[in-house]
Amino acid sequence: MEALLVIDYTVDFVNGALPVGQPAEAIEARIAELTEEHLKRGDLVVMAVDLHEADDPTHPESKLFPPHNIRGTAGRELFGRLRAVYEQNQDRILWMDKTRYSAFHGTALADELKKRGISRVHLIGVCTDICVLHTAVDAYNLGLKIVVHPSAVASFNSAGHDWALQHFQGSLGAEVRD
Ligand code: ZN
One pLDDT digit (tens) per residue for the chain, 178 residues = 999 999 999 999 999 999 999 999 999 999 999 999 999 999 999 999 999 999 898 999 989 999 999 999 999 999 999 999 999 999 999 999 999 999 999 999 999 999 999 999 999 999 999 999 999 999 999 999 999 999 999 999 999 999 999 999 999 999 999 8
Q: Where are the alpha helices (DSSP H) in 41-92?
A: 81-88
CB neighbours of residue 41 within 10 Å: 11
The radius of gyration computed from the CA coordinates of the chain, to the nearest angstrom, equals 15
69 CA distance to ligand 1 middle (Å): 7
pLDDT value of residue 149: 98
Angle (deg, nearest 10), helices 158-172 and 131-141:
10
Q: How far is the CA of 66 from the centre of ligand 1 (A)?
A: 9
> What distance in Å separates the CA atoms of residue 121 and residue 101, rounded to the nearest whole number?
17
Give the pTM: 0.97
74 Cα to the center of ligand 1, angstroms: 15
